[in-house]
């Protein structure tokens, strides 16, 4: 994987850094795994804007991803590595021996023609999904379940990975991408390897228009607002804005919002770093 810096023949290209897309093998998605995707523009069912700075953007179709990897014990072949406009990671098209096709999140190093499988009998190699109890200690993993059969919910974005640290009883200890160390049931599935497209963090859009293409609208600085619009607004001249906080008044910069009585707190061995 690589990135490309463009020759600045326009102002928008001067600082732009784009993905080289070396890992992508086709530009046509599998039609049977496409679904319509309706935009909300940040509005709820009443039509009221509940999330700011959303709207517009290019029309997309959703790629149905197999996060559960529940076709266990059946070998599949990687047919292609594809771009997915709905996520930062690349996706892989798998074709099973019975002819069924599924999309999965592609791991770094996954190649066309490679065979992958899932279940307890699978070998701990890149792209295979195994229960945490069957994975060797110290292994780099991604696409981790929190509850057995739920489907992958953690370490799914580009370049992320977790590490299996220890096993004890029905739990295993996993160090997550955030730095948090947590207990997870050993029956939960995880995929071997780090998520693909690790160069995603190096990309530079180069111009405001590219954010609009992605469906992101402009954000107004809170200190430029009036007091009625934001806790940091108002003041004579260029006021600093006071203590940094959200529009709802929740402090930023280190304020912890997690409930102290949350039932899953007992599974967290070490909190993420501030």
CA distance 229 to 143: 40
Q: Please state the pTM of the whole predicted model.
A: 0.92
Q: Per DSSP, what are the bridge partners of residue 5?
A: 17
Spell out the residues 6+ positions from residue 156 whose beta carbon is closer than 8 angstroms to its own.
67, 87, 89, 105, 142, 143, 195
Angle value at C-alpha 85, between 33 and 129, nearest 5 degrees: 60
CA distance 210 to 12: 9
Spell out the residues 6+ positions from residue 101 whose beta carbon is closer than 8 angstroms to its own.
30, 32, 33, 79, 93, 94, 95
- The domain ranges of the chain are 3-201
CA distance 45 to 55: 15
**Could you read off the pLDDT tens digit of each residue along the chain, which spans 274 residues?**
689 999 999 999 999 999 999 999 999 999 999 999 999 999 999 999 999 999 999 999 999 999 999 999 999 999 999 999 999 999 999 999 999 999 999 999 999 999 999 999 999 999 999 999 999 999 999 999 999 999 999 999 999 999 999 999 999 999 999 999 999 999 999 999 999 999 999 999 999 999 999 999 999 999 999 999 999 999 999 999 899 999 999 999 989 999 999 999 999 999 988 6
User: What's the CATH fold of domain 3-201?
Assistant: OB fold (Dihydrolipoamide Acetyltransferase, E2P) (2.40.50)
Among 219, 214, 211, smallest CA distance to 247 is for 219
């Amino acid at each position: 994987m690589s990135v490309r810096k463009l020759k600045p023949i326009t102002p928008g290209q001067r600082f732009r850094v784009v993905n080289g897309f070396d890992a992508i093998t086709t530009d046509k998605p599998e039609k049977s795994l496409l679904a319509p995707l309706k935009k909300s523009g940040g509005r709820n069912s009443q039509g009221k804007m509940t999330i700011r700075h959303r709207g517009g953007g290019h029309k997309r179709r959703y790629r149905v991803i197999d996060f559960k990897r529940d076709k266990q014990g059946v070998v599949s072949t990687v047919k292609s590595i594809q771009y997915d406009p709905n996520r930062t990671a690349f996706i892989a098209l798998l074709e099973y021996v019975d002819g069924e096709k599924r999309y999965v999140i592609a791991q770094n190093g996954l190649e066309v023609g490679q065979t992958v499988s899932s279940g307890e009998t699978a070998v701990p190699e890149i792209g295979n999904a195994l229960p945490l109890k069957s994975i060797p200690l110290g292994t780099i993993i991604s696409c981790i379940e929190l509850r057995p059969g739920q489907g992958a919910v953690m370490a799914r974005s580009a370049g992320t990975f977790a590490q299996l640290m220890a096993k004890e009883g029905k739990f295993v200890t996993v160090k997550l991408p955030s730095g948090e160390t947590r207990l997870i049931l050993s029956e939960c599935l995880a995929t071997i390897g780090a998520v693909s497209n690790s160069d995603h963090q190096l990309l530079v859009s180069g111009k405001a228009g590219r954010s609009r293409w992605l469906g992101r609208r402009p954000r107004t600085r809170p200190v430029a607002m009036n007091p009625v619009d934001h806790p940091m607004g108002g003041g004579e001249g260029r006021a600093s804005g006071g203590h940094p906080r959200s529009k709802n008044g929740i402090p930023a910069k280190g304020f912890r919002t997690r409930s102290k009585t949350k039932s899953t707190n007992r599974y967290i061995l070490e909190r993420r770093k501030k």
